[in-house]
Structure 1
Amino acid sequence: MSLNDEVMLLRQVPYFGRIDACKLKLLAFTSSRVCYEPGQTIFHQGDASEAAYVVLRGTADIVATAPGGEMIIGEASAGTMIGEMCLVSDAPRVSTVRATSVLELLRIPRDSFLRLIADNPRMSFEFSRALAETIRDKAAGLARQLARRPERIV
């Protein structure tokens, strides 16, 4: 995949859809490709966060561990961004991501991303807007899941 192909893929990711192609090219250039086999873990819940990933090819499960065990809370496929919260937060990972097929990712280091948005207020705004929409959508999905549970949460 060429740098221009990576830029085209980044443009399809909601976080980067409204960002200038020149900025996306710089982001793609400072990123690296990584590959995982089925069953391999990309990162674990509780790990330190140093990078986010865009799925170029393949699928992965997003898993949360709770006192009752593991629960698959989502799936990532081509065009999905995973670990995006780490780009703006030093908090540990909130989930584990495990490859379910051969998985090719674009690894975006936090320090490269932060340098890029520091020089580009519009990019910072667009990323923040998309992140807020993601948080809203995830909260709504969690509320729907909880509403289907037979026990009442107080």
Structure 2
Amino acid sequence: MDDAAGVLTRADFFDICDDEQLRMLGFAGDRQYFEVGSVIYKAGDIPLGAHVLVSGKVKARHEGPEAGEPYTLTEPGSVISPTALILDKPRPVTFMAISDCETLFVPRNAFLKLVRQNPDLAARAISRIEEDLGRYMHALEPLRTRMKGN
């Protein structure tokens, strides 16, 4: 398996893919480098795909009235906005490099092409995103409860 596909094997989201699908996405992927303070993408932007962290540290900060505390991604294989692989909608999060970073960018169009060719992969992707959204919504429940109490 080539280097880019190897990066994808460490990314939780891409465990829905088989080895051949990982190779194809790795081939379509693009290594990108960000210096400290560089914005990977800004809240309100429509990302063209997802980034997989290869090395470095990234701070994620939600914008808007429901913003919580910023969090940091440091684990190689962390996927920055996996929903951007399917949705071309503005994201509510700014991702900024807080150290020199390397990512593997996976374009949405490559992922969607693969999904269209593989209905089983499409079903696994939908299931994974539903799980991720469920965890996100569960994490927001305390905020919703506090807002109702005011």
Bin of the TM-score, shorter chain as denominator length: 0.7 to 0.9
1:26 maps to amino acid: M
Secondary structure of the 2:12 match is coil
CA deviation vs aligned residue, 1:89-133 (integer Å, no higher than 9, x gap): 121122100011111000111111111111011211222221111
1:66 CA displacement: 2.4
Answer whether contact 2:52 2:79 (CA < 8 A) is retained. yes
Secondary structure of the 1:140 match is helix
- Give TM-score, length-normalised by structure 1: 0.85
1:22 is aligned to 20
Answer whether contact 1:16 1:126 (CA < 8 A) is retained. no
Which of 53, 56, 59 is equivalent to 1:55? 53
Structure 1 residues 126 and 88 mapped into 2: Cα distance closer, same or farther (>3 Å)?
same
User: How far apart in 1 are the matches of 2:92 and 2:65?
Assistant: 14
Secondary structure of the 2:88 match is coil
List runs of 5+ in structure 2 lacking aligned partners: none
Tell me whether 54-63 or 122-131 shows the greater mean CA deviation.
122-131
1:67 CA displacement: 5.0
Moved over 3 A (4+): 70-73
1:74 is aligned to 71
- Give TM-score, length-normalised by structure 2: 0.87
User: How far apart in 2 are the matches of 1:90 and 1:19?
Assistant: 21
1:36 is aligned to 34
2:98 maps to amino acid: T
Answer whether contact 2:37 2:96 (CA < 8 A) is retained. yes
Answer whether contact 2:43 2:63 (CA < 8 A) is retained. yes
List runs of 5+ in structure 1 lacking aligned partners: none
Structure 1 residues 129 and 73 mapped into 2: Cα distance closer, same or farther (>3 Å)?
farther
User: How far apart in 2 are the matches of 1:66 and 1:94?
Assistant: 7
**RMSD over aligned Cα, in angstroms?**
2.1
CA deviation vs aligned residue, 1:6-42 (integer Å, no higher than 9, x gap): 3233123222114210110000000100010111100
Answer whether contact 1:15 1:126 (CA < 8 A) is retained. no
Show the 5 A alignment for 1:91-102. 91-102=89-100
Structure 1 residues 138 and 73 mapped into 2: Cα distance closer, same or farther (>3 Å)?
farther
CA deviation vs aligned residue, 1:29-70 (integer Å, no higher than 9, x gap): 0010001011110001001221211111111011112259x7
Secondary structure of the 1:47 match is coil
Answer whether contact 1:52 1:83 (CA < 8 A) is retained. yes
Secondary structure of the 1:16 match is helix
The number of residues matched between the two structures is 147
2:9 maps to amino acid: R
Tell me whether 43-52 or 21-30 shows the greater mean CA deviation.
43-52
Which of 123, 130, 135 is equivalent to 2:121? 123
User: Could you say which structure has the higher helix fraction?
Assistant: 2
